[in-house]
């Protein structure tokens, strides 16, 4: 889910003017008459025998006999409108607070490509995983710069061990993902394979040598938070288990992964002051 950036130039001016007009309209009130009609007024005063009001339509003070005004309806409708405006303002204030927090968080993300997570106000950096390409006959460390020659059939891209040393305890973590270049990226669920965890499976076509990647994707929301920076979080709460954030270019046999395990109740590692929120 992408979130929009602030508008610029003329578009921004139009939005500001519309917002100002909305505020002015919200500040006005309806002065109801006993026949059901009403005057749109900026303010009104109830006097012993009449009601004095400032007409928005005519930009002037006017008076109406008190017995022609439905004060009960006027007060009820205007009170309801005021309560609605207050609720809307609370929502706007809450959204503004979230926007300010997100901007501040994004400013604290290092320029280096990688995966980051705020935990209790402190920034945690996740290490990139060392990946291996495994077949039934061989195992080799994956080199992103010099891709490995692949055998026909299935090649398993794996990370060692059945459990990650990088443990989180939040079911819907909001990661910051700084890319090194524009690629496909997202969450994947890792599966066990001969004592290790499979991140991705490569199937090579014998004649064309084309590589087809497959993995167990986890649906996510995402928003652009800066140059090559995205905030990414799962659409649904994660189930306990092993996961990774990955980035790769389809068909090029290159993948980077940052593995983690989600286990409820796990305590996050201590974060040094140097890694605290900037």
Q: What is the mean pLDDT of the chain?
A: 83
Q: Given this model, what pLDDT does residue 239 score? A: 96
Q: Given this model, what pLDDT does residue 11 score? A: 41
Kindly report, residue by residue over 184-214, the tens digit of the pLDDT. 999 999 999 889 999 999 988 777 778 899 9
Q: Given this model, what pLDDT does residue 268 score? A: 52
Check whether 139 has a pLDDT greater than 60. Answer: no
Q: Given this model, what pLDDT does residue 235 score? A: 97
Q: Given this model, what pLDDT does residue 142 score? A: 58
Architecture of domain 9-106: Roll (2.30)
Q: Given this model, what pLDDT does residue 149 score? A: 55
Q: How far is C-alpha 134 from the geometric centre of its chain's CA atoms?
A: 36
Q: When comparing pLDDT for 98 and 264, which is higher? A: 264
Euclidean distance between CA atoms 272 and 278, whole angstroms = 12
Q: How confident is the model at residue 46 (pLDDT cuts 50, 70, 90)?
A: very high
Kindly report, residue by residue over 153-165, the tens digit of the pLDDT. 788 999 999 999 9
Side-chain half-sphere exposure of 101, counting CA atoms within 13 A:
9
Q: Given this model, what pLDDT does residue 267 score? A: 67
Q: Given this model, what pLDDT does residue 249 score? A: 93
Kindly give, in sequence order, each residue whose CB lies less than 8 Å from that of residue 258, ignoring residues fewer than 6 positions away. Answer: 114, 115, 126, 127, 128, 129, 166, 244, 245, 246
Q: Given this model, what pLDDT does residue 225 score? A: 93
Kindly report, residue by residue over 252-277, the tens digit of the pLDDT. 888 999 999 999 986 655 544 334 33
Q: Given this model, what pLDDT does residue 9 score? A: 40
The neighbour count for residue 24, using CB atoms within 10 Å, is 11
**Cα R_g (the chain), whole angstroms:** 30
> Minimal CA–CA distance to 136: which of 149, 117, 155?
155
**DSSP 8-state secondary structure symbol assigned to residue 10:** H
Euclidean distance between CA atoms 38 and 75, whole angstroms = 12
Check whether 29 has a pLDDT greater than 70. Answer: yes
Q: Lowest-pLDDT range, 4-8, 28-32, 99-103, 203-207?
A: 4-8
Euclidean distance between CA atoms 247 and 215, whole angstroms = 12
Average pLDDT over residues 138-153: 54
Euclidean distance between CA atoms 34 and 188, whole angstroms = 66
> Minimal CA–CA distance to 110: which of 241, 227, 25?
227
What does residue 164 show for φ and ψ, rounded to 5 degrees?
A: -80, 150
User: Which tokens go with 71?
Assistant: 């004060």
Kindly give, in sequence order, each residue whose CB lies less than 8 Å from that of residue 260, ignoring residues fewer than 6 positions away. Answer: 126, 164, 166, 167, 168, 242, 243, 244, 245
Q: How confident is the model at residue 19 (pLDDT cuts 50, 70, 90)?
A: very low
Domain residue spans of the chain: 9-106, 110-275
Q: How far is C-alpha 53 from the geometric centre of its chain's CA atoms?
A: 47
Q: Which pairs count as long-range contacts for 23-28, CB under 8 Å and 24+ apart, including other chains?
A: 26/81, 26/85, 28/56
pTM over 0.85: no
Average pLDDT over residues 45-73: 94
Check whether 67 has a pLDDT greater than 80. Answer: yes
């Amino acid at each position: 889910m992408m979130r929009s950036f602030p508008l610029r130039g003329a578009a921004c001016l139009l939005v500001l003017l519309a917002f100002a007009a909305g505020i002015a309209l919200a500040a006005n009130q309806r002065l109801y008459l006993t026949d059901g009609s009403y005057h749109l007024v900026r303010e009104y005063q109830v006097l012993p025998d009449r009601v004095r009001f400032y007409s928005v339509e005519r930009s002037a003070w006017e008076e109406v006999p008190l017995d022609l005004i439905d004060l009960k309806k006027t007060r009820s409708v205007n009170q309801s409108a005021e309560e609605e405006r207050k609720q809307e303002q609370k929502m706007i204030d809450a959204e503004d607070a979230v926007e300010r927090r997100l901007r501040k968080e994004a400013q604290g993300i290092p320029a280096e490509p990688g995966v980051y997570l705020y935990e209790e106000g402190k920034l945690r950096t996740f290490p990139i995983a060392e990946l291996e390409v495994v077949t039934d006959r061989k195992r080799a460390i994956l080199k992103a710069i010099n891709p490995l020659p692949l055998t026909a059939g299935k090649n398993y891209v794996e990370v060692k061990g059945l459990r990650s040393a990088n443990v989180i305890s939040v079911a819907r973590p909001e990661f910051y993902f700084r890319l090194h270049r524009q690629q496909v990226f997202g969450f994947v669920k890792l599966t066990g394979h001969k004592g290790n965890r499979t991140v991705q499976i490569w199937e090579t076509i014998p004649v064309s040598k084309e590589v087809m990647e497959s993995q167990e994707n986890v649906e996510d929301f995402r928003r652009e938070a800066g140059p090559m920076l995205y905030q990414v979080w799962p659409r649904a709460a994660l189930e306990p288990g092993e996961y990774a954030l990955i980035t790769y270019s389809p068909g090029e046999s290159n993948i980077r992964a940052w593995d983690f395990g989600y286990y409820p109740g796990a305590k996050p590692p201590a974060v040094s002051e140097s890694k605290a929120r900037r």
